Structures are given as C-alpha cells and as structure tokens.
Amino acid sequence: MFGNLPYPAMSNFQSASMNNQTESIALPTSATHPDTSGALWVRLRQRLLRHARMMVFEPALAEDLVQESLVAVLEKPEAHRGEASLMTWAVAILKHKIADWYRSPHQRRRSWVETDGDDADADPTEGLYDEQGSYKEVVPSWQQPEKQETQRQMMSVMEACLKRLPSQTGRVFMMREWLGFETTEICERLSLSAENCRMILHRARMGLRQCMMSQGHTTGGLQ
C-alpha cells in the first residue's frame, strides 16, 4: 500500500526538534474550514504524537514526523472539512511518514538496538493452558462493539494495553496491523527470523487479549 512512495526529506531528522513551532503556525482562516481552531490543532498534534511515540524510539524524531504531517495537513486544509475527517486524514499522513521512515536506509542499523530487558522474553500465555494445552478456564465470548461508544471504550483500552506490551512487541504489532506491513517485510526490516516474527506477533495478540479482558470492557455473557 505504501510501497511506491518516495522517501520524504530525511535530512532534518537529526536536527533539533521543532515541537515548539506547532502552536505558532498561522492557522488557515478560510471560510470553507471554520472548524480549524487552535484547540483543534493542539488535540490533533497530541493525538498524532501519541501514535508516533509508539512507533519510533527517539522523542525528537516522533516530534519531527508529527510536525511534517501537520505541515502536510496545513498545506491543503480546504480539502477536509470537519474535525473527524481532518483527524483521519492527518493520521493517514502520519502512517505514511512512519512507514517511509521504517523503509529508509537510516532506520536499519538502529532498528533493534534497544531491548526491553527481561520483558522482551515474557510469554503472556504462561499459565493459560494446562498440560494438554487446553485452556484452564472457560474463554468468554466478547461483546461485539457495534455502538460507537463501545467502540471508543474498547479502542481506549486497546491503546492503553498496547503501551503495556514490551515495547518491541508493541512496535511489531503496530507495524503489522496499523501500518499494514507484510510479515516478510517486518522480518527483513528488523532482521528477525520468520519464526521469531510469528512468535512476537502471537505474543502481542495474546497479551492484548488478556490485558483487554482484565479491563472488563470486553466480556459479554459466557457462552
């Protein structure tokens, strides 16, 4: 999906973070876009930053990627009316920027340098199964989030749970599910074996599943 994009300008990644400039960027005053207010801009930036920080190590780099995304939004504000579509659009731009960064040659060397210590090897399925490999406890059926409010609650819980995963595990999950990378590409970019990649994704999903269940928002009646 992002395969043919040219790399964006990467040269300023090492430069000082531009995070203080956001609020001072002149907002478009076009009558076609009355919702763009300072408060909206701050919310937008905060949301993008939250996602960017899950994906890249260096805080300054996350700031830069967000900044570039916001500039792209600012360049064409009239195309997107309303806060919801603006947010969605801005997040899509940020995803492209992060995907490009993961595919850039700079990235490869430092992709797996930081470890989580013992956490990286933690198996969230430990204690879940008996000796035959069957679930020790009955697995409840989850409520399907049809209402918007339920979806919000579940998403909020999932984002919080993502942060509780070992950071590399969370990052691989996000590369796969959020950025939409194929597993073969993730393995290659992060120099992981296919088996290792599979295990990390499995642990991420099972870890999320257990964390989300422990928060109680997801369980319906037992079947």
Partner 1 sequence: MTLLHSCQKAAELLSQSLDEPLDMVDKLRLRMHLSMCGNCRNVQEQLNLIHKMGGQIGTIDVCNDSGEPPLPHGDPVR
Site residues (CB under 8 A) for partner 1?
43, 46-47, 50-51, 84, 87-88, 91, 94-95, 119, 122-126, 128-129, 132-135, 138-142, 144-145, 151-152, 154-161, 163-165, 173-174, 176-178, 180, 182-183, 198, 201-202, 205-212, 214-215, 218, 223
The distance of closest approach from Cβ of residue 77 to partner 1 in the complex, given in angstroms and rounded to an integer, is 19
Spatial CA neighbour of 135 closest among 219, 206, 43, 185: 206
The distance of closest approach from Cβ of residue 148 to partner 1 in the complex, given in angstroms and rounded to an integer, is 8
Task: Give the residue with the Cβ less far from partner 1, 18 or 206.
Answer: 206
Query: Reduced to 3 states, what is the DSSP secondary structure of residue 24?
Result: helix
Task: Give the residue with the Cβ less far from partner 1, 106 or 163.
Answer: 163
d(CA 21, CA 41): 12
Query: Reduced to 3 states, what is the DSSP secondary structure of residue 84?
Result: helix
Beta bridge partners of 142: 219
Task: Give the residue with the Cβ less far from partner 1, 6 or 127.
Answer: 127
The distance of closest approach from Cβ of residue 142 to partner 1 in the complex, given in angstroms and rounded to an integer, is 5
Q: What is the dihedral of CA 170, 175, 178, 182, to 10 degrees?
A: -130
d(CA 88, CA 92): 6
Task: Give the residue with the Cβ less far from partner 1, 54 or 61.
Answer: 54
The distance of closest approach from Cβ of residue 223 to partner 1 in the complex, given in angstroms and rounded to an integer, is 6
Spatial CA neighbour of 100 closest among 55, 150, 39: 55
The distance of closest approach from Cβ of residue 106 to partner 1 in the complex, given in angstroms and rounded to an integer, is 24
